[in-house]
């Protein structure tokens, strides 16, 4: 980490805690900043705020008092999920206070090489694969996964040095709040409809994603999915050297699926069907990771070894176990229709689908042909249960509504047959019933384990 004195004695407001806010506050405190954290959760129930207070950080909880911003702050570090329409953020901007997100703070004190990964889907898998591939090299330095993958990057940069690489998953929420963040390699896995309720429009969402490349130069690399026509136009906005990947044989791609082989610059690395993770989407994730690894100087053998043994990221089409002849998969991170589309396409066996969650008032119609093709029965829950049931009716398959993912598990087993896949892929966010998709997925895994134990 750089010995950065820019924050010493500066008044900084950290808005919103959770993992990233706590980590940002601790880093700023270490750098000598005069830190105030403001979180809406009440102090008595707020263990994070209590711990920070014990470390000497000023803590204000229970509400977001706009008048707090009149106390001469030099900077606001905002939790990525807080929208820019929030009164505290609006007031900060009116006062000319810079508003950044945690990755920008981390980058400002980092002397490591950065690889940034964004996209609507596939970010976590691609980030994980890149980190594993870079660490498989027999060279100096270590690759640290961080960011939206669930690891605060402000914590990582305190141990990552100049010989190391930070592989940072960057959500669109995070990217809106960057100013100077400059990855040497940037990856854009894909762009679909997502988070439009937060960004206000698809145009704003795409602009947020493209911020990952805005500080790059021609000496940097921007890895893009060349199977999506939109990418060809977006590439023109990047100052970096564009490195396309393609599963479908797009002209000009460097990382490709060719005659069943994963290739880079025409060189065969391994057969795609030798990977442990299922689905065309994971071929795309692998191609993006291969491109990043090769551009980082990783040898083919290291890349192949990782792809041979990698079995998937938790909560993302994660194999749980086989119970009574049914293979069970946890895809709780499928918080939108596009992600569930990917999951349904990943299997050839009949599927019993567990789906439902927060209603963002977005259409679900794209799921219908896949439900007709792949799904034997459906178990629904949450705010979008009626929408999922409407699709089941149109597909002519049975469905059962239940309270949550825990109660859905025995229903799913009863509706399935040996050889089927039982798949939690909600096609909706978790916030109507759960704090996050991780809690939802963990409850599902626990319920499957308990069911298996009862069945002996």
What was the pLDDT predicted at 95? 97
Q: pTM for the full model?
A: 0.82
HSE toward the beta carbon, residue 449, CA cutoff 13 A: 9
Contacts of 94 (CB under 8 A, 6+ apart): none
Domain regions of the chain by residue span: 11-100, 103-309, 318-455
pLDDT (0 to 100) of residue 139: 82
Q: The tokens of 101 are what?
A: 């997100």
Which of 178, 181, 187 has its CA nearest to residue 208?
A: 178
In DSSP terms, which residues pair with 167 in a beta bridge?
115, 145
Reported as type and span, the H/E element at residue 415 is helix 405-415
- The Cα–Cα gap between 244 and 234 comes to 12
Q: Does domain 11-100 have CATH number 3.40.50.720?
A: yes
Helix (H) or strand (E) holding 379: strand 375-380
State CA 354 to chain mean position distance. Answer: 21
pLDDT of residue 197: 73
CA distances from 313 to 297, 375, 398 (A): 24, 23, 30
Say if 11-100 and 318-455 have the same CATH topology.
no
The dihedral built from the CA positions of residue 359, 81, 334 and 450, taken in this order, carries a sign that is negative
> Measured at the alpha carbon of residue 79, what is the angle toward residues 64 and 173, in degrees to the nearest 5?
130
What CATH code would you report for 318-455?
3.90.190.20
Closest CA to 422 of 355, 334, 352, 321: 352
Residues with Cβ within 8 Å of 450's Cβ and at least 6 positions away in sequence, in order, are: none
**pLDDT tens-digit map of 180-194:** 999 999 999 999 866
CA-based nearest residue to 377, from 360, 357, 403, 396:
396
* Domain boundaries 103-309, corresponding CATH code: 3.40.1190.10
So what's the pLDDT on residue 187? 98
29-47 burial string, b = 16+ CB within 10 Å, else e? bebebbbbbbbeeeeeebe
User: What's the pLDDT score for residue 319?
Assistant: 85
Residue-level length of the chain: 456
Q: Which tokens in the block code for residue 376? A: 């034997």
Q: Among all chains, which residue has been given the structure tokens 């506050």? A: 25
Residues lower than pLDDT 70 in the chain: 193-194
Which residues participate in the annotated binding site? Answer: 119-125
Binding-site residues for ATP, in ranges, read 119-125
């Amino acid at each position: 980490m750089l010995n950065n004195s820019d924050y010493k004695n500066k008044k900084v407001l950290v808005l919103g805690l959770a993992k990233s806010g706590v980590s940002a506050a601790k880093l700023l405190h270490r750098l000598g900043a005069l830190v105030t954290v403001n979180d809406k959760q009440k102090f008595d129930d707020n263990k994070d705020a209590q711990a920070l207070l014990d470390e000497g950080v000023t803590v204000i909880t229970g509400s977001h008092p706009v008048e707090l911003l009149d106390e001469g702050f030099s900077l606001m570090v905002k939790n990525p999920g807080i929208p820019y329409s929030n009164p505290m953020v609006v007031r900060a901007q009116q006062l000319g206070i810079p508003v950044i997100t945690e990755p920008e703070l981390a980058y400002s004190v980092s002397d490591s090489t950065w690889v940034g990964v964004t996209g609507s889907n596939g970010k976590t898998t691609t980030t994980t694969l890149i980190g594993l591939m870079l660490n498989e090299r027999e060279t100096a330095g270590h690759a640290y996964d961080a960011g939206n993958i669930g690891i605060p990057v402000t914590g990582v940069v305190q141990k990552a040095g100049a010989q190391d690489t930070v592989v940072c998953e960057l959500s669109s929420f995070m990217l809106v709040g960057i100013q100077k963040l400059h990855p040497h390699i940037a990856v854009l896995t894909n762009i679909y409809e997502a988070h439009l309720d937060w960004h206000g429009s698809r145009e704003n969402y795409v602009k947020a994603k493209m911020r990952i490349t805005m500080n790059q130069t021609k000496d940097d690399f921007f890895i893009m999915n060349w199977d999506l026509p939109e990418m060809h136009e977006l590439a023109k906005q990047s100052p970096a050297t564009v490195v396309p990947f393609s599963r479908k044989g797009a002209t000009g791609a460097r990382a490709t699926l060719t005659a069943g082989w994963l290739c880079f610059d025409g060189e065969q690395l391994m057969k795609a069907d030798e990977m442990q993770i299922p689905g065309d989407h994971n071929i795309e994730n692998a191609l993006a990771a291969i491109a990043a690894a090769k551009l980082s100087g990783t040898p083919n053998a290291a890349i192949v070894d990782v792809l041979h043994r990698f079995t998937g990221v938790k909560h993302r089409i994660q194999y749980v176990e086989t119970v009574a002849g049914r293979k069970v998969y946890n895809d709780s991170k499928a918080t939108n229709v596009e992600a569930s589309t990917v999951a349904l396409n990943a299997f050839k066996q009949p599927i019993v689908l567990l789906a439902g969650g927060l209603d963002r008032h977005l259409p679900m119609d794209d799921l219908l042909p896949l439900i007709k093709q792949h799904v034997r029965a459906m178990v629904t829950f949450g705010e979008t249960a009626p929408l999922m049931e409407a699709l089941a009716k149109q597909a002519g398959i049975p469905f059962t509504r239940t309270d949550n993912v825990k109660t859905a598990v025995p229903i799913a087993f009863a509706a399935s047959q040996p050889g089927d896949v039982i798949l939690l892929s909600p096609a909706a966010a978790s916030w109507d019933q759960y704090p996050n998709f991780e809690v939802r997925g963990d409850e599902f895994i626990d319920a499957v384990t308990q069911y298996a134990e009862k069945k002996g």
